[in-house]
Structures are given as structure tokens and as C-alpha cells.
């Protein structure tokens, strides 16, 4: 173990085994130290955080949603004095922040404690920015201070990591695990990769968040007045998001669209399956999105057949539903079906994906 190899990984609960497999694919000596929560893992990567982050910057993982280093372990009491204690002690114990670059504190409390993340973020941010410190930017920080308060079960941190040589209590073993990193090294600039969107007036479905998150994560800019095809469109959340961004949408679904889309002349709803529309002399599109509830491989076959309808500058986004068992082989088969038709520009399990992942595809020509 090197003391810069202790990390916190976040993934969707239900994808822990896949996230660990991904980690071991690039860090063969990685060890799971303990689960801090269903979706938060404390690991010894067996390699420095910086090296792992550099690898994943080049080729992002699918299932690991967020990554943060553990550079300091501060034993806590769980009482209301903890936030002030951390605000007093952590700034000097952590590696210094770059004063010209923005920062944010991203705290999570994963154990019973008398405070919430907000109670930690506020005093710690004030202590770190101070009179001449870096500017605070919680939406798009360049640097992040991660603080995870958790009850450690078995892990014995290296004494070098323990704040002021303090020992962990015998009882709850509550501690703050803290580290400083560049947001680009964390795989997401949101704490734990938990990208939340405010509910909007007129929102049709929670599925809208999936599309918003995918556009952001893959850095996709929608064309102005593009022509989009939405496969599996009902009740119409994705169609609404695309319309709001100025796209003309052909919505394909045997199911009903929400009544609020009925009078929108920029939406053409065809009540049929995607397979049927393909037989019906379909148009060409700038964008194809697919959120169909369908076996991953069947959905990939449909998408492969649709590639010819995309303009060369076009792109596609699809969700891939993962089965309960054999998820890896099913995913490999799905990629193999898509590969002749598309290049894979991105693949991630997003915060708003449940047992599915989202793919960003560009047509091959
Ligand atoms: C999760 S919902 C889509 C939600 C939608 N993206 C939204 O934002 O409201 C899945 C949809 O896939 C549709 N679907 C399933 N099989 C289909 C097929 N073969 N062709 C077209 N739509 C299909 C279902 O009717 C269902 O409405």
C-alpha cells in the first residue's frame, strides 16, 4: 500500500461488482477495504490516485461514477462540534489548494451524526477560501475537497493518514475521510457523481433527467433546429427536452404521449413500433435517441438498422437495459451488434440510470 492509493469510489447500487471489475481491469492489485454505503466503496487501488485518474481521463469507466482520494482521516465524535473541528483542522492537514482556481467542498454523511452535509460544507468552505484563498464555485469547481463522514468497520488507516496522530474510537469508529483533487480527476464535478436537476414546471417524466445528464456528461451540443427521432418516446419526457432545445421531433411509440404535447406542431407522434417505422420509408435525422424498454441486444439491432438514417454529422443516444444476470456478456454482445454501424463515443452508467447504461454513438461511414 502507498498512502496515496486509498480512494473512495461511487457507483450505482447494484453495480458494485461491475465497478470493482472495472477498477481491477486498470489496477490489478486493487482491494476493496470496505463498503461505506451501498454505492460508496473504500478501496486501496494499489496505485496512486493520480495515475488511476489519468488512465480514466483518457478512457472513462462505465460503472465507476466518481472517484476521490483519501489523504486525511479525521476521527470524529458525531456531535455538533465536528463541523467546527474539521473547519479548524482540515485546511492545514490537506494538500494546499491552488489559490487562483475555483474550489468546492463536497461533503457526504454516511453515518448517524448530528449534522448534515450542508453543516460541513459551509464552515469548511469559509475556512478554505478565507481572505486570500481560492474562489468558491459549487457548480463548476476546478478543485474539489471531498469529505466523507462514515463509520469505519474494520479498516485500520495508516498512521500517516490519521489527523494529528489521533486514534480511531473503539465504539462507532466515526471518521471524516478527506482529500483534495482536480474535478476532472473525479470523473464528475458533482459530489459522488450525483448530478441532480431541479424539477421543472411542465416536466413529463423523470426520464428527462437521464437525457439532460447524458447531454452534459458527453458534452453534446444540440444543433439549432435539428431533426430528431425519439424511439420509445412515450410518455414524452425526452421529446419535451428535445423540443425545448429547438428540435423538431418524430416520436415513435405504440403508447400515448402526454396530452401537453398534443398541440405542439413540432412533434409528430407515430403510434407504431420502431421496427414498423423502419419499414415505412422513414426520413433522415440529425439525432436519434432511444429509450425503448427492450432487451439490450434487440434494441442494439434496431439501432444498427437505423444508422443509415443518420446524417454523417449526426449522433445517437441510447439507454441499454441490463439484465439481472450475465450483465457483462450481454453488454459485450450489445457492443458487438452496434460496432459495425457506430463508433462508441461514450458509455456511462449515469446517476439517473437505474439498471441500465447510456451510450453515445456516432455513425460509421
Ligand atoms: C422508459 S419508456 C420511455 C420514456 C421516455 N423516454 C420519456 O422520457 O418519457 C419506454 C418506452 O418504450 C416503448 N417501447 C417498447 N418497445 C418499443 C418498440 N418496439 N418500439 C417503440 N417503442 C417501444 C414503450 O412503449 C415505452 O413507452
CA of 274 to the centre of ligand 1 (A): 9
Q: Are residues 141 and 213 in the same domain?
A: no
Q: Which of 198, 146, 159 is nearest to 9 (CA)?
A: 146
Q: Are residues 57 and 125 in the same domain?
A: yes
Q: Are residues 73 and 180 in the same domain?
A: yes
DSSP 8-state code for residue 307: G
Q: What is the pLDDT of residue 294?
A: 97
Q: What is the pLDDT of residue 17?
A: 96
Is residue 110 domain-resident? yes
* pTM for the whole structure: 0.95
Instruction: Tell me the average pLDDT across 161-175.
Output: 80
Is residue 134 domain-resident? yes
- Tell me: cis bond preceding 336? Omega within 30 of 0 counts: no
The three-state secondary structure class of 149 is: strand
Decide if 170 is catalytic.
no
35, 321, 328, 362: the catalytic one is: 321
Q: What is the pLDDT of residue 216?
A: 97
Distance CA(284)–CA(81), nearest Å, equals 62
For the CA of 204, the nearest atom of ligand 1 = 9
CB 232 within 8 A of CB 290: yes
Long-range contacts of 26-35 (CB under 8 A, 24+ apart): 26/52, 26/55, 26/56, 26/61, 27/52, 33/6, 33/154, 33/155, 34/152, 34/153, 34/154, 34/155
Contacts (Cβ under 8 Å, ≥6 apart) of 22: 61, 62, 63, 64
Q: Are residues 182 and 216 in the same domain?
A: no
Residue 43: which pLDDT band, with cuts at 50, 70 and 90? very high
Q: What is the pLDDT of residue 2?
A: 53
Residue 112: which pLDDT band, with cuts at 50, 70 and 90? very high
Q: What is the pLDDT of residue 1?
A: 47
What percentage of the chain reaches a pLDDT higher than 90? Answer: 93
- Picking from 150, 167, 193, the residue at the C-terminal end of a domain is 193
Q: Are residues 182 and 214 in the same domain?
A: no
Which cell numbers hold the place of 256?
400515448
Q: What is the pLDDT of residue 3?
A: 67
Which protein residue has the closest C-alpha to ligand 1 atom 8?
237
CA of 210 to the centre of ligand 1 (A): 14
Angle at Cα 246 formed by Cα 244 and Cα 252, nearest 5°?
80
Q: Are residues 130 and 235 in the same domain?
A: no
Q: Which helix (H) or strand (E) holds 313?
A: strand 310-321
What's the pLDDT tens digit per position in 73-109? 999 999 999 999 999 999 999 999 999 999 999 999 9
Q: Are residues 19 and 120 in the same domain?
A: yes
Crossing angle (nearest 10°) for helices 296-306 and 327-338: 10
What's the pLDDT tens digit per position in 293-307? 999 999 999 999 999
- Picking from 134, 165, 193, the residue at the C-terminal end of a domain is 193
CA of 112 to the centre of ligand 1 (A): 41
Q: Is the CB of 274 under 6 A from ligand 1?
A: yes
Q: Is the CB of 238 under 6 A from ligand 1?
A: yes
- The range of the structural domain enclosing residue 153 comes to 6-193
Is residue 201 domain-resident? no
Which protein residue has the closest C-alpha to ligand 1 atom 27?
234
Distance CA(150)–CA(34), nearest Å, equals 11
Least confident of 30-34, 205-209, 247-251, 277-281: 277-281
Instruction: Tell me the average pLDDT across 32-51.
Output: 97
What's the pLDDT tens digit per position in 228-267? 999 999 999 999 999 999 999 999 999 999 999 999 999 9
R_g of the chain computed on alpha carbons: 23
The number of domains in the chain is: 2
What's the pLDDT tens digit per position in 138-164? 999 999 999 999 999 999 999 899 997
**Is it the case that residue 365 has pLDDT exceeding 80?**
no
Cα torsion 73, 74, 78, 82 to 10°: value is -140
Give the distance, in angstroms, between the CA of residue 218 and the centroid of all CA atoms in the same chain.
Answer: 11
Instruction: Tell me the average pLDDT across 24-34.
Output: 97
**Average pLDDT score over the chain:** 95
Q: Are residues 222 and 87 in the same domain?
A: no
Amino acid at each position: 500500500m502507498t498512502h496515496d492509493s486509498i480512494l473512495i469510489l461511487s457507483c450505482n447500487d447494484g453495480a458494485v461488482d461491475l465497478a470493482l471489475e472495472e477498477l481491477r481491469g486498470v489496477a490489478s492489485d486493487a482491494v476493496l477495504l470496505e463498503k461505506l454505503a451501498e454505492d460508496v466503496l473504500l478501496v486501496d487501488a494499489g496505485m496512486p490516485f493520480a495515475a488511476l485518474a489519468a488512465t480514466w481521463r483518457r478512457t472513462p469507466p462505465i460503472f465507476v461514477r466518481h472517484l476521490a482520494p483519501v489523504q486525511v482521516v479525521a476521527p470524529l465524535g458525531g456531535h455538533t462540534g465536528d463541523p467546527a473541528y474539521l473547519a479548524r483542522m482540515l485546511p492545514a492537514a490537506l494538500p494546499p489548494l491552488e489559490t487562483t482556481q475555483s474550489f468546492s467542498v463536497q461533503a457526504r454523511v454516511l453515518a448517524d451524526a448530528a449534522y448534515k452535509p450542508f453543516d460541513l460544507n459551509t464552515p469548511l468552505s469559509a475556512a478554505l477560501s478565507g481572505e486570500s484563498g481560492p474562489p468558491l464555485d459549487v457548480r463548476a469547481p476546478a478543485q474539489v475537497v471531498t469529505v466523507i463522514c462514515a463509520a469505519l468497520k474494520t479498516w485500520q488507516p495508516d498512521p500517516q493518514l490519521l489527523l494529528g496522530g489521533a486514534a480511531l474510537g473503539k465504539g462507532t469508529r466515526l471518521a471524516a475521510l478527506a482529500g483534495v483533487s482536480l474535478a476532472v480527476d473525479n470523473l464528475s464535478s458533482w459530489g459522488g457523481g450525483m448530478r441532480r436537476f431541479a424539477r421543472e414546471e411542465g416536466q413529463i417524466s423523470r426520464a428527462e433527467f437521464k437525457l439532460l445528464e447524458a447531454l452534459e456528461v458527453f458534452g453534446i451540443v444540440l444543433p439549432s433546429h435539428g431533426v430528431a427521432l425519439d424511439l420509445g418516446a412515450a410518455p414524452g419526457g425526452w421529446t419535451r427536452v428535445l423540443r425545448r432545445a429547438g428540435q423538431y421531433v418524430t416520436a415513435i411509440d405504440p403508447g400515448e404521449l402526454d396530452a401537453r404535447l398534443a398541440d405542439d406542431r413540432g412533434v409528430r407522434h407515430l403510434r407504431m413500433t420502431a421496427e414498423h417505422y423502419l419499414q415505412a420509408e422513414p426520413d433522415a435525422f440529425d439525432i436519434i435517441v432511444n429509450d425503448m424498454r427492450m432487451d439490450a441486444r434487440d434494441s442494439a439491432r434496431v439501432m444498427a438498422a437505423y444508422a443509415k438514417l443518420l446524417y454523417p454529422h449526426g449522433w445517437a443516444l441510447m439507454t441499454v437495459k441490463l439484465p439481472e444476470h450475465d450483465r457483462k456478456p450481454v453488454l459485450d454482445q450489445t457492443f458487438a451488434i452496434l460496432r459495425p454501424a457506430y463508433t462508441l463515443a461514450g458509455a456511462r452508467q449515469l446517476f439517473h440510470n437505474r439498471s441500465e447504461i447510456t451510450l453515445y454513438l456516432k455513425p460509421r461511414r
